[in-house]
Amino acid sequence: MGYSREVYQKAAARLGERRRQSVDRNLAQIEQVRAQVPGAAALLDQLAQTSAKISRAVLSHGTDLAAVIDKIRRENEETQARLRSLLASRGLREDLLEPQYFCPLCQDEGWVEDRQCSCIKRLAAECALEELASPEELQRSTFSAFRLDYYPDRPDASGRIPRAGMERILRRCMEYSRSFSPKSPSLLMLGATGLGKSHLSLAIAQNVVKSGFGAVYRSCQQLVRQLEQARFSPGQQPGEEAVFSALAGCDLMIIDDLGSEFANSFSGAALYNLINTRLVEGRPTIVSTNLTVAQIQQQYSDRLLSRLSTYEILYFLGEDIRMKISTEPQSPSL
C-alpha cells in the first residue's frame, strides 16, 4: 500500500511550491539582467519571439516547413550564445537566466520520464513522518537514543536481568524494522509504565516509513476518539468508512498504551473490529500496553485476548526509566 493518498498530495503540493519559487526567482533574475545589463533586453526580446515565429511558420503552410523551423532554431541558438557571452563579459554566470531547480533531475516536477523521482519520494517520507508524531517525539524516539544503561544489570525478583532482556528486545525491534514487510508478524509489547514501549514502537514506525511503507501511530485514546468522531459526528469528513479503511489498510498500525482509553461498549467493539480486521487480512499491528494478560482479559473480552495471543509477545523489564531521566542532573547552559 505504501503512503496514503493524503501524504502524496502534501508532497506534491510542496514540490509544486518549490517549482513556483524557482520560476519566480528566475523571472526576477531575468528582469534584473534586462534592466542592468546593456544590450540584454534586445536579445531577451528576440528569444521571447521564438514561439511566435514558429506559430507563424506553421500557419503559413510553407512547402518547406522543416527548413524554416530549423532556421529559427539556429537563430535562437545564436542569440542564446550571444546572451551568454554578454553575461560572461560582465562577470556573471552564463546560466544566470536558467531556472535553478531544487531538483535538477526532474526540474521539480516529480517524474523522470515514466519513473517517480527520488525527490518526491523523500518529500513523501518527510510528510509521512510528520503524521506519526511531533519532531521532538521523533527525535527522542530512535534506536540510537534508547539507553540500555537505564535498566538494572542485576537479577530482579523473578531472577531475570532487565538489561539483558531489554537488549534482546532492542535487537528484535531493530531487526523487525529492517526486515519489515506488509506480511511481518504483529507484536504485543507488555510491561509496566515507563519501560520504553512507546519509544521502541515509534522507532520502528520511523524506520518503516523511511523504507517507503505506510504506518499509522496512535495512542489508544487518540484512536478511539478518532473512531468515535467518525461514527457519531454527522457530516464528519472523512467519514466512518474512510477512517476505518485507512486504519485497517495501512501497512503497519501501531496502537500505543492499550487500556488508557475511556472504556465503554463502543471502544471495546471498535478496537476489536480494527485488530481483528487487520489480523484476518494479514496486516501487521503493534500493540503496547501496561496491562497484564489477566487485566486485558478482564477489561476487554476473551475474543480480543485471543487475537492478541497470536502476536509475538515482547516482555519489557526494569524500573520506570522516566523517573530516572527526570532525576538526572541537567547539563549547565552554555
C-alpha distance from residue 69 to each of 50, 74, 76, 82 (Å): 10, 9, 10, 20
Cell numbers for 180, please give them.
519489515
Q: What is the pLDDT of residue 255?
A: 97
Q: Which helix (H) or strand (E) holds 295?
A: helix 293-299
**Residue 244 Cα to chain centre, angstroms:** 20
| Domain residue ranges in the chain | 5-116, 133-325
- Nearest-angstrom CA–CA distance, 110 and 115: 9
Gap between the Cα atoms of 101 and 33, Å rounded: 19
Residue numbers in the chain where pLDDT is lower than 70? 1, 61-63, 235-237, 326-334
Query: What pLDDT score does 332 carry?
Result: 44
Handedness of CA 222, 223, 225, 229 (dihedral sign): positive
Q: Who contacts 56 (Cβ-Cβ below 8 Å, separation ≥6)?
A: none
- The residues pairing with 116 across neighbouring beta strands, listed in sequence order, are 111
pLDDT, tens digit, 9 for 90 and up, residues 2-22: 888 889 999 999 999 999 999
Return the number of other C-beta atoms located less than 10 Å from residue 189's C-beta. 26
What pLDDT sits at residue 62? Answer: 61
Q: Contact at 8 Å (CB) between 274 and 226?
A: no
E strands, the chain, where?
111-112, 115-116, 187-190, 215-219, 252-258, 285-289, 312-315
Q: What is the pLDDT of residue 301?
A: 86
- Which of 169, 206, 171 lies closest to 188, judged by CA? 169
Residues 183-193 have pLDDT tens digits of 999 999 999 99
DSSP string across 134-153: -HHHHHHSSSTT--GGGS-S
β-sheet with 187-190: strand ranges across: 215-219, 252-258, 285-289, 187-190, 312-315
Question: Residue 333: what pLDDT?
Answer: 36
Class of 133-325 per CATH? alpha beta
Q: Which residue has the cell 531493530?
A: 174
Check if the beta carbon of residue 256 is closer than 8 Å to that of residue 220.
yes
- Angle between helix 118-132 and 5-36 (nearest 10): 120
pLDDT at 149: 93
CA atoms within 13 A on the CB side of 4: 21
